[in-house]
Amino acid sequence: MQRLFTGFFLIGIAGALIQLFGGDLQAPSRVVAALWEAADLAVQVSLGLIGILALWSGLFRLAEQSRLADRLAGAVRPVLARLMPALDRDPSAGAGVSMNLAANMLGLDNAATPLGLKAMEALQRGNHEPTRASDSQIMFLVLNTSSVTLVPVTVLMYRAQQGAADPAVVYLPMLMATTVSTFVGVWLTARVQKIRLRDPLLIAVAVGWLALLGLLALGVWLAPPALSATLSSLVGNLILLAVIGAFFYAAWRAKVDSYDCFVEGAKEGFTLAIKLIPYLVAMLAAIAMLRASGVLEGALGLIRHGAAALGWDTRFVDALPVAFLKPLSGSGARAAMLDVMQAHGVDSLAGRMAAVMQGSTETTFYVLAVYFGSVGIRDFRYALGCGLAAAAAGLVSAILLSYAFFG
């Protein structure tokens, strides 16, 4: 991350100097002005997120306190046992893995990471080569880098903050893109590990999930063009309402004081919004340097020219900064998404595509470094290749699905 951050600034400065020597005397002032604007934008975005973050942090606290995540973990555990045979030999590891993936599915980011670290530690106890990743650890990492998130609050939150007419319109294509990412990651890892995927339970879960997504997508695509976006939004909003209803119902069943629990969770959302400011300032400023110096547009111009030569629609190129940064840096990809929304409009094809890209996968290098680094693993084996393949599948799917839904 240090090299990426430093490189962005140095390349931006070099681009400004090249423009200056080329006769553009305004280039240095334009780049410096972009820095100030990016810093102001980061603060405005973070402060604008306080209310939405507080709302969803409060709702997620209901899911945690009512043990809804635990019950979801129990439901997914039989599936995980087929993909990670080592879990049958270590029930404690199985519980940690299940709870981590359940937290990811519910969008409980604050809970997912510590649960994931505990799960990796438990898996490490059964690892006979402590510095080399085991098969189960690699499958766990791939599932984390590509896991399906039923409540992609972060992306919807940024769209709402940027003034989207309907933040949830990207929900269905986002869910489909992350499904593709997960399926590709699991299939490739299973092929390498020689895990049998023709298991009745795995087939039933995969077919059921794909059938559900297929029916939803078919309804949207068969609708008249004027109604397709409305139906996509309707599906997304209904699912979100169903999830919120499940949170409150679970809290009621568990006799949790929903009001006090919600308020305590909302306090964390306020703190989180403030903590976001330094990260957004750093990455928005770096991307602003690249854009103002002409470097970013030059690189995208080359890709656009190549795509046009192949006869492709070139509008996807505007959203590519998110795709480039997503495997490397979560904060960088988030800043790139905001930059695309600011430059092209939150409800433009590029703005919506950037949002779908952001929600299609996790940050491969970050997950790999944190999870494997926490237990001292230095030999990643094929984990990085499988994780990047899953990420690539998700990002390509995000482009194609955005064209299908919004293009």
* pLDDT confidence of residue 226: 58
Under 8 Å CB-to-CB from 71, ≥6 apart: which residues?
250
C-alpha to C-alpha distance for 305 and 288, rounded to whole angstroms: 23
* pLDDT confidence of residue 394: 92
Q: What is the DSSP letter of 348?
A: S
Under 8 Å CB-to-CB from 195, ≥6 apart: which residues?
82, 83, 85, 139, 189
Q: What is the pTM of this model?
A: 0.76
Q: What is the DSSP letter of 150?
A: S
DSSP-derived 3-state class of residue 379: strand
C-alpha to C-alpha distance for 247 and 270, rounded to whole angstroms: 20
* pLDDT confidence of residue 42: 77
* pLDDT confidence of residue 187: 94
Taking only the tens of pLDDT, the chain with its 407 residues reads 567 678 878 888 888 888 888 887 888 888 888 888 888 877 877 777 677 778 877 887 887 788 877 777 777 788 888 888 777 666 666 767 777 777 777 666 655 666 677 778 878 887 888 888 888 889 988 988 887 777 777 788 888 888 888 888 888 888 899 999 999 999 999 999 999 888 999 999 999 988 988 887 777 666 665 565 666 667 767 777 887 888 899 899 989 898 999 998 888 777 767 776 787 777 778 777 877 887 777 888 888 899 899 899 999 999 998 988 888 777 778 888 988 998 899 999 999 999 999 988 887 877 777 788 778 888 888 988 998 899 999 999 999 999 988 87
Q: Which residue has 């810093």 as its token pair?
A: 39
Give the dihedral sign, CA 294/299/302/304.
negative
Tokens of 20: 């200056």
| Neighbouring-strand partners of residue 379 | 132
| Neighbouring-strand partners of residue 132 | 379
Under 8 Å CB-to-CB from 84, ≥6 apart: which residues?
97, 135, 136, 139, 140
Q: Which residue has 């029916």 as its token pair?
A: 215
Decide: 90 and 125 in contact? Cβ < 8 Å: yes
Q: With 0-12 CB in 10 A as exposed, 13-18 as middle and 19+ as buried, what is 198?
A: exposed
Question: To which H or E segment does residue 267 belong?
Answer: helix 258-292
Which whole-number Å values give the CA distances from 45 to 275, 282, 328, 402, in the listed order?
A: 12, 13, 22, 25
Under 8 Å CB-to-CB from 21, ≥6 apart: which residues?
none
- Report the amino acid identity of residue 269: G
* pLDDT confidence of residue 92: 63
Write out the DSSP string of 201-238: HHHHHHHHHHHHHHHHHHHHHHS-HHHHHHHHHHHHHH
Under 8 Å CB-to-CB from 379, ≥6 apart: which residues?
129, 131, 132, 133
- Report the amino acid identity of residue 297: E
* pLDDT confidence of residue 186: 92
Number of Cβ within 10 Å of residue 272's Cβ equals 17
Residue of 179, 178, 213, 186 lying closest to 202 (CA atoms) = 186
C-alpha to C-alpha distance for 309 and 251, rounded to whole angstroms: 57
